[in-house]
Structure 1
Amino acid sequence: MSALGRLRPTLISPTYTRLWFGQAVSSVGDAVFSTTLVLWVATVLAEGKSWGPQAVSGVVLATSVAVMAVGPLAGVFVDRWDKRATMLGTEVLRGVLVAALTAVAFVPVEDLPAGVWLGLIYATVLALNAASQFFTPARFAVIADLVTDEADRARAAGIAQATGQTAWIIGPPLAAPLLFAVGLQWALAFNALSYLVSYFAIRTADLTPVATASAPGTATDTAPGTAPAAAPAAAAKARGKAAAAAERPGVFREFTAGLRFFGRNRFLVALLLLTVIGQLGTGALSTLNIFFATRNLHASAELYGYLGMAMGIGGIAGALAAGRVVQWIGARRTTWIGLMASGALLVLYSRQTGFPAAVTLLFVFIVPITMLNTAMAPLMLAATPQEFRGRVVSVFYPVTRLAAMLTAVLSGWLAGSGLQGFSGSVAGLRFGPIDTILAVSGLLVVLAGVYARLALPAVEAAPAAKPAEPAEPAAGPPAEPSGSAEPAETTLEGRP
């Protein structure tokens, strides 16, 4: 009991701890799954084939297509549906999809054409990430309803980011032994089992305060596990739901209403613009860091993994510290200071020529990046009414994912063609194509910090930017806190 008591301040509440555990297992399963597919396609299915890199890139493309094609409209349905039921349903769907692929994986690889294998893998990845577009906004709405304190919201987002970073430190090293020692089937089965764990964690958590707002008159819904009310009350409830369904606008109208709300809210637009500009730094780094390590740092390719490890550890440190920092200086200051600091550190990183110093700087660079991502969670929640939260998240994620993709393509083109052969010197400092792109990206991130300092109002003024909310529905922000408000962990990074 004493150990659990010590965990409560960090993990918000005992029920949140249950939800965190389920999501942590699921995140590790996702990391194992993604790494396993890449390894299997590259080393088994496409071994020695010239189309191997394109086959691997198809996995990433399937993920991006799901985010951008399904994400924007998913928020409309999430705003309509019960959040707990949405989370449970998506976990069941994802578990069944992975279990089906696991069953197919027992077929010897040579018995099916490579095109069939790739089609099955791409279709599964696409469907899994499409389901995630419903799970993530539902989880975001859960944390918004159950955690109202700014510092607690930042702490919950920080826990989620730290968990995600840890999963990607644990998962990939697990994937290779599972794949090569016991086979593809059992590596995939690990992920299917992780969804089962997440399902039971959500199922057993007390999330009754986050039931979807229905029609007026449904406030007398009985609590789960209790006997139904009298027949007249049940009939009135049914009539209220029918009336709400009749009055509800179409999906397209709700989607466009969400877009209009987002576009007219200068606070949300500013947050989105800051995130997009921030992708200029992290996107360019993720694309070019391997070339920076081998060319500028003169390190062997085998040492490249240590750069990723430094970023993972820095991400954990930044995420765990974010809640306390937000409590000290506020989410707004954390955001603009984090942008300025990370941009300056990226510029400094671009000037490195030695591997040990570069590893240290990369660790320090990712700390403020993770902290500002975490700080944006309470800022977005403060500026978004309950009825628009699903749609706001479903606009935010696809746009930032698109920005990351475009940044990766642009930086790759500049390094490979646009600036190929570029060299110069300023004040005795020599510049090549890779370090120049990273340095310019860092300067743009610093400018984003300046913009954030001017554009973001004080945190306490953020809610004033939203339009007047309608009368509180029966199942709005928790009118009946149970003493252990337990939001599902969330993050605005969507997971990087």
Structure 2
Amino acid sequence: MTPRLTLINRDYTRLWFGQAVSSVGDAVFSTTLVLWVATVLGKGQSWAPVAVSGIVMASGIAVLVIGPLAGVFVDRWDKRATMLRTEVLRGGLVAVLTAVAFLPAGALPTGAWLTLIYVTVLLLHAAGQFFSPARFAVLADLVTGDADRARAAGIAQATGETAWIIGPPLAAPLLFTAGLQWALLFNGLSYAVSYVAIRSIGVRGPGTGPAGPGGAQKPTERQRGSLRREFIDGLRFFAGSRFLVALLLLAVIGQFGVGALGTLNVFFATDNLHADAHLYGYLGMAMGAGGIAGALLGGRAVQWLGARRTTWIGLLVSGVLLVAYSRQTGFLGGVALLFVFTVPLTLLNTAMSPLLLAAAPPDYRGRVMAVFYPVTRLASMFSAALSGWLAGSVLRDVGGSLGGLRFGPVDTVIAASGLIVLVSGVFAMAALPGADGAGKTAGGSGGDTAVPSGGRPPPPRLRHRPVQRPLAHRRTRSNE
């Protein structure tokens, strides 16, 4: 018998393949739009950076405005059908933008081009807010057991990191040799691959709900309730689970801790590590490699240590390593420490997946993720803005030495970030006590909801990427 290559199981492998292709499409699409706006549409214009930032803002608005409500509808609808429909919608949106892109850049006013791009990115991300919770629920039925969930989370993170190593180098040649339209078409085709992959899987678990004719989900009494009542019901369920609240606090605190790297690492590289600006990309490569290594080790770490222990150990070790990184003065040492720092950070992101799944019963999975995604995204945005403001204004004149160690505004903020991660690890030790495994109460004590085990979604991960990548619609189909 010829052996078949599978990741966890056949259906998960098919879904993973579709998402892997679409992740590369995300990276190509995001990079292409930013390059085109910056180097073609806004070439030599003072407003070009602002125009590029509008792409990121459009994606953020979709997450913050649409995300909280999307979970209510996802909990009502058939999950697999929701994924298929959003892929059709997103593929259609990209197809429209691709068709318009065949026009010369001067055929439309600059404002019209920017409006078209912003609206497309906004709608793509809005559709992604329905896709991600639906995928969360489907994966909950495809993958069971803490170790396999952690493996799946690790595979997803490694795939996402790899996609962002492959995608951007593809985007530039496609844009500048073939043209904008062909780079966009690549992403449109990736939606088609994702659609075919989703169609090929069979979902028979509770995540899809009771099936009616044609695979549609039969309406239940809960589904006939008002949108407002179901939304509030979801918030009450979330707030009533001490375990879910603890996980969210860990994600937010950890995000504040590591978010400074995204804003300040380029300045740290040139000022503290004394590296030329063209070497900055190697820091991103080091973190990408560390992310892949940590993701591939995640399943084994959870199997050995348990999801809860892996989470708080990962936070403690990451915090210590981030403080150590802030004291580096050599480029090679900084690269090595960033690689090592990213490994435990990725391990804890992987470990949070089975914990989150165990705390989210099928009827609430969409709304649980609809709380996590916007809150952690908001924390990410606030962290980036706060760290830049502190280093550029409040702590601008900070400098000196203490105990023979020199310090300035940038390394001070990064060191403080490491201490915050360390504190969150101490908090996790107290907030995530007890044994791992499904079937435990969400909070580990009375008053919280006992929930069944499910599959694996990617958790709202602590963003560790120091490179300020343009995220036009990154992770709308992967690591969400």
What does residue range 67-82 of structure 1 map to in structure 2 within 5 Å? Answer: 67-82=63-78
Residue 310 of structure 1 pairs with residue 306 of structure 2: no
Letter aligned with residue 429 of structure 1: L
Asked whether the equivalents of residues 145 and 453 of structure 2 are also in contact (C-alpha less than 8 Å), the reply is no
Structure 1 counterpart of 2:179, from 173, 177, 183: 183
Residue 94 of structure 1 pairs with residue 90 of structure 2: yes
> What is the RMSD of the two structures over their aligned residues, measured on CA atoms?
2.3
Secondary structure at 1:208's aligned position in 2?
coil
Secondary structure at 1:440's aligned position in 2?
helix
Q: Once the two structures are aligned, what percentage of the paired residues are identical? A: 66
What does residue range 245-394 of structure 1 map to in structure 2 within 5 Å? Answer: 248-394=224-370
Equivalent residue number for residue 133 of structure 2:
137
**Quick one: distance in 1 between partners of 2:185 and 2:396?**
45
What does residue range 109-124 of structure 1 map to in structure 2 within 5 Å? Answer: 109-124=105-120
Count residues with an aligned counterpart: 460
Letter aligned with residue 89 of structure 1: R
Asked whether the equivalents of residues 291 and 343 of structure 2 are also in contact (C-alpha less than 8 Å), the reply is yes
What's the CA shift string for 1:374-393, capped at 9, x where partnerless?
A: 11010011112211111001
Asked whether the equivalents of residues 139 and 490 of structure 1 are also in contact (C-alpha less than 8 Å), the reply is no
Secondary structure at 1:297's aligned position in 2?
coil
Structure 2 counterpart of 1:406, from 376, 382, 385: 382
Equivalent residue number for residue 26 of structure 2:
30
Equivalent residue number for residue 56 of structure 1:
52
Task: Say which is worse superposed, 200-209 or 248-257, in terms of deviation.
Answer: 200-209
Equivalent residue number for residue 484 of structure 1:
none
Structure 1 counterpart of 2:442, from 465, 475, 479: 465
Check 1:469–1:405 CA distance in 2 against 1; reply closer, same or farther (3 A cut). Answer: closer
Residue 212 of structure 1 pairs with residue 189 of structure 2: no
Unaligned runs of 5+ in 1: 225-236, 479-486
**Quick one: distance in 1 between partners of 2:439 and 2:268?**
40
Letter aligned with residue 118 of structure 1: L
Asked whether the equivalents of residues 140 and 207 of structure 2 are also in contact (C-alpha less than 8 Å), the reply is no
Q: Tell me the CA shift for residue 145 of structure 1.
A: 2.4
Equivalent residue number for residue 451 of structure 1:
427
Check 1:465–1:45 CA distance in 2 against 1; reply closer, same or farther (3 A cut). Answer: same
Q: Tell me the CA shift for residue 245 of structure 1.
A: 5.3
Equivalent residue number for residue 468 of structure 2:
none
Asked whether the equivalents of residues 82 and 134 of structure 2 are also in contact (C-alpha less than 8 Å), the reply is yes
Q: TM-score, normalised by structure 2?
A: 0.91
Q: Tell me the CA shift for residue 465 of structure 1.
A: 2.9
Asked whether the equivalents of residues 161 and 491 of structure 1 are also in contact (C-alpha less than 8 Å), the reply is no
Secondary structure at 1:352's aligned position in 2?
coil
What's the CA shift string for 1:170-210, capped at 9, x where partnerless?
A: 10111111111111000000000000000001111122335
Residue 432 of structure 1 pairs with residue 408 of structure 2: yes
**Quick one: distance in 2 between partners of 1:336 and 1:328?**
14
Letter aligned with residue 24 of structure 1: A
**Quick one: distance in 2 between partners of 1:443 and 1:462?**
34
Secondary structure at 2:441's aligned position in 1?
helix
Equivalent residue number for residue 492 of structure 1:
460
Equivalent residue number for residue 65 of structure 1:
61
Secondary structure at 1:430's aligned position in 2?
strand
**Quick one: distance in 2 between partners of 1:328 and 1:412?**
39
Secondary structure at 2:27's aligned position in 1?
helix
Task: Say which is worse superposed, 13-22 or 319-328, in terms of deviation.
Answer: 13-22
Residue 47 of structure 1 pairs with residue 43 of structure 2: yes
Q: Tell me the CA shift for residue 281 of structure 1.
A: 2.7
Q: Tell me the CA shift for residue 461 of structure 1.
A: 8.0
**Quick one: distance in 2 between partners of 1:12 and 1:491?**
19
Unaligned runs of 5+ in 2: 462-474
Letter aligned with residue 259 of structure 2: G
**Quick one: distance in 2 between partners of 1:173 and 1:488?**
30
